[in-house]
Structure 1
Amino acid sequence: MSPMVVENDVEVGESLPPATEHAVSVSLPTWRANVGYEEGEEWVISKMKTGYPRFFIHKIIQSFAKDIVESHGREGDSAMLFPTHATASRCRDFFFQQAPDLDASQVRILDFLPAAERARSDELSIISPRVSAVLFPQQRFNIAKTFWQHSGDGVSSRRAEYCQQLFKEGVLVEASTLNQPARVCKGPRRYQKKTSIDLDAPEDLSNGSGEVQDPTQFVEERFGRNLDLSKTKNAKLAIRRRIAGSLTADVSLTEAMALDQDATRTRPVAGFSEDDVYLYPTGMSSIFNAHRNLLRAKGQLKAVVYGFPYIDTLKITEKFGPGSQFYGFGSSEELDDLEKQLEGGEKFAALFTEFPTNPLLRSPDLERIRKLADKYDFCVVVDETIGNFINVNVLQYADVVVSSLTKVFSGDSNVMGGGLVLNPKAKNYALLKRTWNEDYEDNHWAEDSIFLERNSRDFVSRIDRIGANAEAICDVLSAHPRVKQVNYPKTSPTRPFYEKCRNPNGGYGGLLSATFHTRPDAIAFFDNLDTVKGPSLGTNFTLSSPYVILAHYGELDWCKKWGVEADLIRFSVGLEETAKLVDTFKRALDALPGEEEQQ
């Protein structure tokens, strides 16, 4: 066999995509590197330029937090940064819950607002740059980090970058000093220039005065160094319309605003519109706030988590509120048990599930769950991140649908976002709509919205192509004798439940996972697989990960109890040419050690 040419050899700790300042994944290219990361080994940790933003606090955010502590903190303080006072208050409440020995003088909130707002700076009034810092004793950092990870409500790296510059220039000031005069500034220099994010045609290289811009400058402006932040409101509206399904055309923002709604893709629920779509800073924030608001609406009742979920969904229901009932297999027997409890008078606020689940790609029986919810008056929250509404219609069975827009909706792995949708036909809709209208804050940072809107313009065509590629990889893995099991909605025993929700032209998504009969095979396959490797999913490039080791390293025995093996490898399939991708996976399978080498 000819020697393998490795195309995706990205150094450990490098961002994915490489050299991307606000990337949401990081290279952990070998099995050993993933274990080393979990064990905190210096050879991995010291090289980490970035990481998945809810697990690794971006270095720009760390730097800004340090500046705030140096100017406003006490000796031994640390700071965690949030977009608003309300989000910071929830972090402070979590501190007091986790560490009752702390008092208000030790955990305090400082709000930073632009003094220049009084001068009605156009840009500052549009994007409303503000940050609320929770200051706390440094030795309690783990409490703050836990809240940051579970809630998903921390500041984004772009918000931190923008606000830190204003802070250094004396424009972003602590709220109590706002009665003192402050210097007016329109923000970091690169934002001051008026440019359009909707430059699409070659003639746009003209800057309006007849002179042609330098092409490098054009590329920088077109792809985000200089952003026209006045487009923020329309960008957010376009994103909400895409989540609603009414905007599916791959067009510029200006054209998108002028288009009629695409009735063929709008979520098929009577009375539904983009007004029932809410944006959050991350996918986990949409889940966290769904849980929080459902406890407000339905009362302090336990939640049900059905099917083995992404790690933080379960942690949220366990740590915030009265706790949860966990049905980790997602089986019909567990629904029987739930029904028995409900018949016996047990009450729940909501049932949380994923469609399909991550990483086993099993599809819950949403139809039966909906019937139970209607009979016993609890809400159903479905995370559609993996399935996505182009492939499946889960809103028909849900009160609330949540998703991570960081994933396939964006694809570019350089911005975070979350979506939440209310079902106007659900029994509890009026109650939930009122609750959301009272509580909702739009904390999706302006620059993030502009990136997310632009990234998502071609999401329909990407989803179709990624699905076709994933089916091809499923076939390759399923045919190999050393592969123990392939998990994919199309081949899952729960496929009938998936089919109940699959749209007429929908596919089976871009995520699959596999286990091998032996650990040496799993390690050899992973190390020889020529894709980039790291956390996250839904990227335009194929991304592989020993997922259970990375997400559940401290609870592998617990995972095994629910049928989730430690050596499972997860694949998020990208847009590569199908034949080339198939060859990549076949070559990794060919590199498995011979039987005698395994002895």
Structure 2
Amino acid sequence: MAMLAAVGQPVPNTPHAVSVSLPSWKATVGYEEGEDWVLSKMQTGYPRFFIHLTIQELGNEILKLYGRSGEAVMLFPSLATAKKCFKFFYDKVQGLGVGVVHVLQLEPVNTGNRSHATTLSGLSCVFFPKEYFNVAKQVWQHTGDGISSRRGEFCLKALRDGILEPVTTQPQIRPDDLYTKGPRRYQRPGSRNGIIHDIPSSNNGTTDRAGTDGEDKDHAQFVEERFGRNLNVKLASQAKLAIRRRISGCLTDDAELEQALKKSPDGGDGRQKGLSENDVYLYPTGMSSIFNTHRILLANAEAKGQAPRKSICFGFPYIDTLKILEKWGPGCLFYGHGSAACIDDLERRLDAGERFLALFTEFPSNPLLNSADLQRIRVLADKYDFTVVVDETVGNFTNIDVLSRADIVVSSLTKVFSGDSNVMGGSCVLNPQSKWYAELKQAMSREYEDNYWAEDAVFMERNSRDFIRRSERINQNAEAVVRSLQQCPLVKQVYYPKCSPSRPNYDACRSPNGGYGGLLSVTFQHPEQAVAFFDALEVQKGPSLGTNFTLACPYTVLAHYAEMGWTAQWGVEPDLVRLSVGLEEPAELADKVDRALRAAEKVKI
């Protein structure tokens, strides 16, 4: 049996792990309460909530070089993303003077003789009074647009080597420049994030040994030793292309990079008629794909001269989706139950003349695994002219087809698409059959900025090659766990698409060979039983989902600790345990669940 990680250790045990170990109910509460016995041990955390220690180190060095007394700094991959943070400050903090928040651009400098193409990175640094750190942290968490840990590692080395310096002419951003009566049109400045330079063949003790030969060698050694801080541009661009082809559906089997690159770029055989990789846009995180989809829809509406319209959040979502819709733009209408009655109410509002920008929904939802009636929503959207955005992360496109009922589909590639829990990523897919398609393509051409760090793309591509096979195995394992839990009299309810009252909605979108995914939630007759079950469950415990290993968390405590009364009104109970089922042997996984249930049985009520 694999050793379970101790409090605060990365899960998995790698420098760029996506999850962190909170191995007991008490540890999770201690983390939320800010108790030192937990926080002092935190080596990492989920990247949008915990700023990686390497990024913290980079920020501290930048503060020493360029900061003022009493300032903190938040790091972004481009000027456009930094401007969003700058604007958020002046929108949310009253009375900030000009220059109190300011932006510094750092870019790579020419270092002389160069021998091959490599990827370099600039940085946009937003400085602000440190007492307002929580404001900047909201931008980091909700938008998902902060720099990744691998980019931070790369830039820290570049800064120390003297090849990352302030640009000669710094951007002059004034608060007044960012205000408009409605949602402002986010201009897309030329991104200098993906600058291609030639750098010396020897850098940080590594050498590029000819092109891309040996691509199938051990991946960790291949990337870390062969490229080191000297990442080949061609490999990174090929990795992004392969990812986009995998998502568009023109790859219908597990495929190595070479196979992926041989596939025709033309659409027609993918997930949707006419769909090609050119309709797939990559983002640094799943939440970034949601935030930027919302941002681009707002910008597109403004470009057409429309008055600001609220969006709709349909069904109880992962926390940051709702926060994005509430904090950016004119707000949102929240239907927390996501039921037929909610659609009835929405239809009455539309009939009465209310109009909306877009409807955002998860399919199925996290953590209650409810599936919205996408067909009814599609009919209303076509009649009343709003965009439908579906987050398919939990269902994933091997199991479900939601693109045919949506205008835009977003997903967190960090989850089951990657599986290894060592890299972040997100995607946005436009439906070529949508009536909004031509308009959305034009909007993306104006507004989209590729901030997906090259090294992250290389890891994501490698991780996703066996995505289809892993997804099938996870489906089978999850159904077995669901059956075990349903048979236990201590269990109050199991939340899973297959046993949900909304299953007909899920089945209406299920692929011919699709399953019901790897995510499930469970509640018990008594909260003490939930605690005992969770503590005794011999799997890794922490944030995230879709990992190749089973991962559990007391979801409501972890995601909504300060608002559990609010979550309860939407059916998300305080003692809910969420399980993301992995690739373990079925018998091994069943034994772990049975032992945890026996521990729950011993609780005296």
Q: CA deviation at 1:477?
A: 0.4
Residue of structure 1 in register with 2:299 after alignment = 296
Matched, 1:62 2:56: yes
Write the distance in 2 (CA, Å) between the matches of 1:121 and 1:403.
Answer: 38
Residue of structure 1 in register with 2:37 after alignment = 43
Alpha-carbon contact 1:112-1:174 (below 8 Å) kept? yes
Q: Matched residue of 1:444: which SS?
A: coil
Q: CA deviation at 1:352?
A: 0.3
Residue of structure 1 in register with 2:239 after alignment = 235
Q: More deviation in 578-587 or 187-196? A: 187-196
Residue of structure 1 in register with 2:249 after alignment = 245
Residue of structure 2 in register with 1:429 after alignment = 437
Residue of structure 2 in register with 1:413 after alignment = 421
Measured against aligned partners, the alpha-carbon deviations of 1:460-481 in whole angstroms (never above 9, x if no partner) come to: 0000000000000000001100
Q: CA deviation at 1:186?
A: 6.6
Query: Structure 1 residues 503, 106: closer, same or farther in 2, change over 3 A?
Result: same
Query: Structure 1 residues 249, 226: closer, same or farther in 2, change over 3 A?
Result: farther
Matched, 1:598 2:604: yes
Q: CA deviation at 1:252?
A: 3.0
Alpha-carbon contact 1:350-1:378 (below 8 Å) kept? yes
Q: More deviation in 223-232 or 146-155? A: 223-232
Write the distance in 2 (CA, Å) between the matches of 1:264 and 1:475.
Answer: 39
Q: CA deviation at 1:219?
A: 6.6
Residue of structure 1 in register with 2:187 after alignment = none
After the TM superposition, which residues 286-435 of structure 1 pair with which residues of structure 2 at under 5 Å, given as runs?
286-298=289-301, 299=306, 300-435=308-443
Measured against aligned partners, the alpha-carbon deviations of 1:58-114 in whole angstroms (never above 9, x if no partner) come to: 000011011111000100111100000000000000010111311231111111111
Write the distance in 1 (CA, Å) between the matches of 2:8 and 2:422.
Answer: 16
Amino acid aligned to 1:598: K
Alpha-carbon contact 1:27-1:532 (below 8 Å) kept? yes
Write the distance in 1 (CA, Å) between the matches of 2:114 and 2:439.
Answer: 37
Write the distance in 2 (CA, Å) between the matches of 1:327 and 1:442.
Answer: 32
Matched, 1:152 2:147: no
Q: Matched residue of 1:348: which SS?
A: coil
Residue of structure 1 in register with 2:26 after alignment = 32
Q: CA deviation at 1:261?
A: 7.3
Q: CA deviation at 1:430?
A: 1.3
Matched, 1:175 2:167: yes
Matched, 1:194 2:221: no
Residue of structure 2 in register with 1:208 after alignment = none
Measured against aligned partners, the alpha-carbon deviations of 1:527-583 in whole angstroms (never above 9, x if no partner) come to: 000000000000000000001100000100000011110110000000000111011
Q: CA deviation at 1:593?
A: 4.2
Matched, 1:531 2:539: yes
Match of 2:278 among 248, 272, 275: 275
Q: CA deviation at 1:318?
A: 0.3
Runs of 4+ in structure 1 over 6 Å off: 117-121, 195-198, 261-265
Alpha-carbon contact 1:15-1:49 (below 8 Å) kept? yes
Residue of structure 1 in register with 2:489 after alignment = 481
Q: Matched residue of 1:70: which SS?
A: helix
Q: Matched residue of 1:317: which SS?
A: helix
Matched, 1:257 2:261: yes
Q: Matched residue of 1:380: which SS?
A: strand
Amino acid aligned to 1:151: T
Write the distance in 1 (CA, Å) between the matches of 2:51 and 2:201.
Answer: 27
Q: More deviation in 95-104 or 77-86? A: 95-104
Match of 2:12 among 17, 27, 35: 17
Residue of structure 2 in register with 1:209 after alignment = none
Query: Structure 1 residues 262, 185: closer, same or farther in 2, change over 3 A?
Result: closer
Write the distance in 1 (CA, Å) between the matches of 2:459 and 2:280.
Answer: 19
Measured against aligned partners, the alpha-carbon deviations of 1:184-220 in whole angstroms (never above 9, x if no partner) come to: 767851554336666367xx7xxxxxxxxxxxxx675
Residue of structure 2 in register with 1:99 after alignment = 93
Residue of structure 2 in register with 1:85 after alignment = 79
Structure 2 unaligned residues grouped into runs of 5+: 171-197
Q: Matched residue of 1:490: which SS?
A: helix
Matched, 1:166 2:191: no
Q: Matched residue of 1:419: which SS?
A: strand
Residue of structure 1 in register with 2:575 after alignment = 567
Q: CA deviation at 1:115?
A: 0.8
TM-score when normalising by structure 2: 0.91
Q: Matched residue of 2:292: which SS?
A: helix
Q: Matched residue of 2:72: which SS?
A: strand
Match of 2:591 among 583, 588, 591: 583
Matched, 1:456 2:458: no
Write the distance in 2 (CA, Å) between the matches of 1:186 and 1:337.
Answer: 64
Residue of structure 1 in register with 2:174 after alignment = none
Query: Structure 1 residues 177, 161: closer, same or farther in 2, change over 3 A?
Result: farther
Amino acid aligned to 2:6: E
Residue of structure 2 in register with 1:134 after alignment = 126
Write the distance in 1 (CA, Å) between the matches of 2:462 and 2:145.
Answer: 23
Q: CA deviation at 1:266?
A: 1.8
Measured against aligned partners, the alpha-carbon deviations of 1:164-195 in whole angstroms (never above 9, x if no partner) come to: 111111101111279xxxx9767851554336
CA RMSD of aligned residues (A): 2.0
Query: Structure 1 residues 439, 200: closer, same or farther in 2, change over 3 A?
Result: closer
Amino acid aligned to 1:114: P
Q: Matched residue of 2:104: which SS?
A: strand
Q: More deviation in 21-30 or 291-300? A: 291-300
Residue of structure 2 in register with 1:466 after alignment = 474
Residue of structure 2 in register with 1:210 after alignment = none
Q: More deviation in 445-454 or 109-118? A: 109-118
Query: Structure 1 residues 442, 262: closer, same or farther in 2, change over 3 A?
Result: closer
Q: CA deviation at 1:288?
A: 0.1
Amino acid aligned to 1:193: D
Write the distance in 2 (CA, Å) between the matches of 1:256 and 1:361.
Answer: 32
Match of 1:551 among 541, 554, 559: 559
TM-score when normalising by structure 1: 0.92
Amino acid aligned to 2:261: M
Residue of structure 1 in register with 2:189 after alignment = none
Matched, 1:76 2:70: yes
Q: Matched residue of 1:61: which SS?
A: helix
Write the distance in 2 (CA, Å) between the matches of 1:187 and 1:367.
Answer: 57
Alpha-carbon contact 1:482-1:516 (below 8 Å) kept? yes
Alpha-carbon contact 1:286-1:403 (below 8 Å) kept? yes
Write the distance in 1 (CA, Å) between the matches of 2:460 and 2:439.
Answer: 30
Measured against aligned partners, the alpha-carbon deviations of 1:369-392 in whole angstroms (never above 9, x if no partner) come to: 000000000000000000011100
Residue of structure 2 in register with 1:492 after alignment = 500
Write the distance in 1 (CA, Å) between the matches of 2:72 and 2:210.
Answer: 38
Q: Matched residue of 2:4: which SS?
A: coil
Alpha-carbon contact 1:165-1:187 (below 8 Å) kept? no
Query: Structure 1 residues 262, 363: closer, same or farther in 2, change over 3 A?
Result: farther
Write the distance in 1 (CA, Å) between the matches of 2:102 and 2:466.
Answer: 44
Q: CA deviation at 1:393?
A: 0.3
Alpha-carbon contact 2:492-2:525 (below 8 Å) kept? yes
Alpha-carbon contact 2:245-2:260 (below 8 Å) kept? no
Match of 1:111 among 105, 109, 131: 105
Q: Matched residue of 2:329: which SS?
A: coil
